[in-house]
Chains A and B, each alone.
Chain A
């Protein structure tokens, strides 16, 4: 029996289809992106199902996508059912990442264009059926009627009759403009909340298959350690233990019940050959400068050295950022059912299709026989343990031929995830007699190892690596010539360069990628956050040097009208007082208050954002309290203002936690930040600042991403506010009390 996708949906009513599919037969390939039927189906009863390759991680995108389809099809929000990220059902849209879901599905192609294509097709069908030209028809609530004669009507269900559209996406199909929106643009509540707050929602952690067993993995003490010996007799006779699985350096246990797996994994005696020692953490940042590097010259006006040595005023500063982690709330979990030559996998991965191709590699199966179904996990901000635990579950399930659920321990989650990378950033700039920037030299060093697995690199994450797959090659090389087109999607190029959004004609941007001893990957605002911390702090230092107001100084060096406007909007809402920093009259002891600003065009083209922070520093203890954050954003037409606010608020506070306390730590042998006592997150209850999101709803033009905007600015805005309050400049994240005290002590 080989049912097609539509038959499954008819038979099963949508979401539960995935369970039927597993039993039914061969896994189908992903539906093609250019076909309307890949995106939208209308059943005979008029119910509408939309399919998307962009998943809900908690960022609210499923609500917005449901609004998008309802809007284009002129039906109420509730009428649309959305299915996302199932490799047998939904179009392959690669990752859900990089703030790309809105650009991908709300602009001129994919899901939004499918909605418009479907609406126009329905109008053509209705025109034929009712014998009335298209321009005399209107659609309301899934019914097309003749203007002025509402008795002449036909429903979508009657038009489609449960058949396929069999149409290509029409790039000319006319999209509704924001001025016409009745569903998009509204703060529609998230439909998943009633289930979430009552414990009815099914996370991947709650997937339970018949006959499911439980696994745990036993990780090495550090990356590079290898298995010397596994003493299976150490767990002999323990209740429920079914199998010890050893494959190269991967070790796991499978038991009947979860508590048994935890106990067995703890008891299993493994001797490891230690890996190479870890770098000395005291000299770590400096050591990056000396490693073999892969260099990229992004900008070079070739006059930078001359300008810096010409006797002008030159400022220089070095900024340091640590490795940081996702530290997801729940440790990662997956459920896999590998039987014979096929696999069904429930995963919280941000890339079901890449999980499919790389799981096939580690299992030795054909990719077409691997079916990956997204189930939400604990909040992921790039690549947490979700992908690696999916491999864990797949390998253990294959070893026993039964469904296996694996959840990582807190320590395994934190010690082996793909961290957001550390950075060393040197900035140098020269100023003319009026204080304007004449050249800016940016040079950075950043360690990397692995990444998302992509289509064929399972070794980019810990489990694939332990199974013997190598991470992506690292080949040092000197920089080639500057590319003609500036690619600023890591925000390495400062906003103030004429090549991007500013006016400064002279500058150089040289980056050095070096090899990391820890796995790294894209952690929310990857590289953009680190680079922007350095740029927006340094810009403040330049403004202070010439006694200019920090906002005015930025505006003076910017050209892009939208970036200027977003900065002005944040400053205005914050009642920004125009004057240079530091704040006059502050004492050098006790409490001191101050404010700081920062702004950026995220990725050079994906979200205008500005932030003003107001803080109070206790100069005796080095502790800071953030009183208020004003975050302005312009991300084009806003599809759901409350969803956007939620992202802006969450980003600002996550940025605050990363700025104040979060830092991966290690000793000579192992990672030592392995739980919530050793990795310092802000808790739910702390002196939460007042957060005001200023939303500029730009109804003309393209939709941009919003998930990584406010977080990118927090460290710079807070650092600038500390300087404003105290005259002390802090250049290393996180801003711990010790570092703040040291900066205060170093004041002139």
Chain B
């Protein structure tokens, strides 16, 4: 059936099974590279997008449930030439190894810090305990998140 998704400020009407997880609509139909399939179980964060200001796991969120809502993906924050400050913070800290987890890390951190601009180090740590980086770039990533928080 026809489903309208509002992604990064643009509306797209797609013919989808309403139970389709949002991730597949974003990565296959809309060909976005930001949100990624990591586990399909909402456990690792790789698929995170921001819906109405909340970090949402797009691998376990149906397209039907977010129809018409404002959906922001990693691509919606900034570009290589004009990165968003949080993206720039990750470049400045050289906070990556393979980079596969970056989508989940950046989107989760942004949604959290935008809501909790005065978060302490311990609160940031707690918020970031829901995502994984299996190359273990933790030191640099947490530093980048704090840099953005300031």
Task: Give A residues with C-beta under 8 Å from B.
Answer: 57-60, 189-190, 192-203, 205-206, 208, 214, 239, 257-259, 262, 326-331, 333, 376-380, 407, 409-410, 642, 646, 649-654, 656-657, 675-677, 681-688, 691
Contacts and interface: CB of A to CB of B under 8 A. Distances in A.
Interface string B111-137: 000000000000011111111111111
A617 to B, nearest CB: 20
In the A-B complex, the 8 residue pairs with the smallest Cβ-Cβ separation, listed nearest first, are A199-B34, A685-B128, A58-B98, A379-B98, A653-B136, A199-B74, A58-B97, A196-B99
10 contacts: A198-B83, A199-B34, A259-B17, A329-B98, A330-B36, A331-B39, A649-B136, A675-B39, A685-B124, A688-B142
Contacts of B43: 410, 675-677
B134 A202 contact: no
Contacts of B17: 239, 259
A198 B77 contact: yes
Contact of B99 (A201, A239, A328, A687): A201
A684 B24 contact: no
Contacts of A203: 33, 36, 100
Contacts of B131: 683-685
A125 to B, nearest CB: 37
A197 B96 contact: yes
A329 B34 contact: no
A378 B132 contact: no
B51 to A, nearest CB: 16
B33 to A, nearest CB: 4
Contacts, number: 195
A683 B125 CA distance: 10
A58 B133 CA distance: 12
A268 B44 CA distance: 27
Interface of B is mostly: loop
B101 A190 contact: no
Interface in B33-52: 33-41, 43-46
A684 B142 CA distance: 8
A144 to B, nearest CB: 34
A197 B91 contact: yes
Q: Which of B34, B36, B78, B136 has the largest count of A CB atoms less than 10 A from its CB? A: B136
Contacts of A676: 39, 41, 43-44, 132
Nearest to B59: A410
Contacts of A194: 80, 83, 91
B75 A329 contact: no
A325 to B, nearest CB: 10
B1 to A, nearest CB: 12
Nearest to B80: A194
Contacts of A59: 97
Interface in B81-116: 83, 87, 90-91, 94, 96-103, 105-106
B8 to A, nearest CB: 10
A197 B87 contact: yes
A331 B20 CA distance: 19
A688 B99 CA distance: 19
A197 B97 contact: no
Contacts of A675: 39, 41, 43
Contacts of A214: 28
A335 B116 CA distance: 41
B66 interface: no
